[in-house]
Structure 1
């Protein structure tokens, strides 16, 4: 470093993080190397403290979804930045003065990130209904996935944070809330959903002869079938051994941060050398060393097909945006 400060590697600060949508990387979660750590330590102080947050890409382009949900630190992208809105906040809690252990920390205290005033606002809108702060959190996530909402507020959303209105009826509030909860679970737990049953050009995987799984499943760069400008997105060439076919085109309708989620997977599950500094980003290392599964990139693509289809099913089932006046 330019300041000539010696740093000692600490394995305990390594954390899994979301680097791009549906793409994880290991993060050295420490201020000594991370120049802008932001409020992430208040959201995710350590792996034992669970949390979720709604992630908004700033300078929304008008293409696709506004928000993604994460349950771990994320990379705050430089092209416009990122705003994160957590379900909980964690802060160091000290004993009250005069207590038995005065002056000593008693650990982390969790509080709701949604304010009492925010909760009161929704209670006033739907009098007599039982609404929690967690309900509001998932209502917001469901609302941000509404095509009607994006269309109505498109001009504002390209230059300012979303404003959250109340829908006209409590039934619609519940519909957005339940959709938001389904979407949140789906987007956070994408690594455990059932992989989509694609067809393989090479036949049934159970009949494949695989002597060396690491070599057989190694991915360097996935590509679409066909040739530009007539690429075939129903076909993806994974590597020389594997070609997926019959990929439903509607899976590409799920767009996040200006790009289909499936194309984020294709972009990040690669072997690529940074020309400026020479560091090699090899997705196979994460597959083999972290996941202990050489086929992880292949199954990740198939899982995100499922995520994409289920996301669009929930989005298309949202009620029309009828607001409380």
Structure 2
């Protein structure tokens, strides 16, 4: 039995009959346990259903080959963990040729050159041979893998001239909990798994806000939002669509529903809120908290805790595909889903430190309701020999620590370069795991560094300006570039004549998430005239990055002085 083909890749599948749905339901379990994924829509993709059908058919026969070229997302995405394990249960041998070419992930070949798709599509693809033998071999299943990078012509030539015996395969051993169908480093896996996953540390979290119409809903100033809102509700639906270039309606965002949401709110300036749009880039929007309204997905359960500036939240990503993990920040405002990356798979997730009481206040009987799971609090108390105090008093009692101390410790770990390097393979595929030290002194010192970073990143701590903007002119951003001359003098140009100077390359190149912070901040302001406050603010960002880099070095030195990795 051979099942051969190139099935369609389509997430909004129309093949929803009960028979195939029941078969695909098997992919929602891993080793008989529920997959524990909030969003399993990827398992409804047509290519997944075709694979499941082929697997079922060959299981019925008892032997055969399933050979498909498909979307390659199932090879390493956590949503498909149950699918991978189920396929391992059915087949004795699996041969995977990952053809890459994923423009959505901006994939590059290891040499740094362009990586092209074999088809004219954005989604990367893979050829996989699933083999079921009549006689099983001990030690199986056997999984073999090959990467194919480069130009389309080179890939097609490889596929035309090679056979399965001429390919240099890498043998991989998919392991719990993800059963990855790609090569991965397992050398520090057990120690990484001993840490606490962020989603187990916090009780409540969500994606950042999705507006569905950024150019319309997010503005540079409070006044621009107010002017847009007032004008928008005064127009009929089609005039508003045309004037604000709102395109055709989609399922979760419609012009008419946006107008109704605004009118229902009473059109009050109190709904205008700052939003953290990109790193160090705060803008403004009109936030009612209603889904499918002015904002498509406001994530109100989480964001309602951040509408006033007396709270803060950790922001990180679940996946960092095609990006090295640098995906951590803090906010005291509502935040955008694409805050950490332009790639939809690398969306920002928001974890508030405190939760509101009845959506009105952070305090109840003088006690704040933190967002940490009780089991985690008990674990960390027992490990450190300290007690969590949740009082809002400034002076905490001896032998105690606060929710802020925990957040500072977590933030310090996420900004440790040695942590990011040691666990890089695991940080790409799921939420970060945080190792918890038993040494109270190390905990307190790391927490101190983390709180310093938090204060810097919230601009709550003054920084000394290190850069200059020496040339007068229009201040209009037209062409952004970084230059280092023969005297090793560095400049960031905003146009042909004007520039910031005395900025090291390490600062210019510094990333938070998938963005080069300095470059992104300026390029977003192309064709705008920078005000005096804009110029000073950018210089403050530069200083914050300088200090961030130094604190990161201090964090790693502290870890090294305490015995290094794994943390004890």
TM-score tier, shorter chain, comes to: 0.7 to 0.9
Q: 1:303 aligns with which of 540, 549, 557?
A: 540
Mapping of residues 1-325 of structure 1, within 5 Å: 2=254, 4-5=256-257, 6-7=259-260, 8=263, 9-30=267-288, 31=290, 32-38=293-299, 39-44=301-306, 46-47=307-308, 49-60=309-320, 61-63=322-324, 65-77=326-338, 79-80=344-345, 81-92=347-358, 107-110=360-363, 111-128=369-386, 129-189=399-459, 193-198=463-468, 200=470, 202=471, 216-225=474-483, 234-239=490-495, 242-252=498-508, 254-271=510-527, 282=528, 284=529, 294-318=531-555, 319-320=559-560, 321-324=564-567
Figure out how many residues of one structure are paired with residues of the other and give that number. Answer: 276
* Deviation, structure 1 residue 120: 1.5
Partner of 1:63, secondary structure, is coil
Going from structure 1 to structure 2, the CA distance change for 1:218 and 1:267 (only over 3 Å counts) comes to: closer
Going from structure 1 to structure 2, the CA distance change for 1:198 and 1:109 (only over 3 Å counts) comes to: closer
Going from structure 1 to structure 2, the CA distance change for 1:240 and 1:253 (only over 3 Å counts) comes to: closer
Q: Matches of 2:415 and 2:484 in 1, distance apart?
A: 32
Coordinate RMSD, CA, aligned: 2.9
Contact 1:16–1:27 (Cα < 8 Å) also in 2: yes
* Deviation, structure 1 residue 131: 2.2
Going from structure 1 to structure 2, the CA distance change for 1:192 and 1:25 (only over 3 Å counts) comes to: farther
Contact 1:53–1:84 (Cα < 8 Å) also in 2: yes
Question: Could you say which structure has the greater relative contact order, defined with CA pairs below 8 angstroms and 6 or more residues apart?
Answer: 1
Q: Matches of 1:303 and 1:87 in 2, distance apart?
A: 26
Q: Matches of 1:225 and 1:86 in 2, distance apart?
A: 40
Going from structure 1 to structure 2, the CA distance change for 1:296 and 1:238 (only over 3 Å counts) comes to: farther
Going from structure 1 to structure 2, the CA distance change for 1:136 and 1:224 (only over 3 Å counts) comes to: same
* Deviation, structure 1 residue 57: 2.8
Using structure 1 for the length normalisation, give the TM-score: 0.75
Going from structure 1 to structure 2, the CA distance change for 1:306 and 1:190 (only over 3 Å counts) comes to: farther
Contact 1:195–1:302 (Cα < 8 Å) also in 2: yes
Partner of 2:436, secondary structure, is coil
Contact 1:23–1:268 (Cα < 8 Å) also in 2: no
Q: Matches of 1:184 and 1:197 in 2, distance apart?
A: 22
Structure 1: stretches of 5+ with no match in the other structure: 94-106, 203-207, 209-214, 272-281, 288-293
Going from structure 1 to structure 2, the CA distance change for 1:64 and 1:193 (only over 3 Å counts) comes to: farther
Q: Which residue of 2 aligns with 1:274?
A: none
* Deviation, structure 1 residue 304: 1.4
Going from structure 1 to structure 2, the CA distance change for 1:176 and 1:254 (only over 3 Å counts) comes to: farther
Q: Matches of 2:429 and 2:532 in 1, distance apart?
A: 41
Which of the two has higher C-alpha Rg?
A: 2
Using structure 2 for the length normalisation, give the TM-score: 0.45
Per residue, is there more strand in 1 or in 2?
Answer: 1
Q: Matches of 1:177 and 1:26 in 2, distance apart?
A: 31
Q: Matches of 1:159 and 1:115 in 2, distance apart?
A: 23
Q: Matches of 2:370 and 2:378 in 1, distance apart?
A: 14
Contact 1:190–1:303 (Cα < 8 Å) also in 2: no
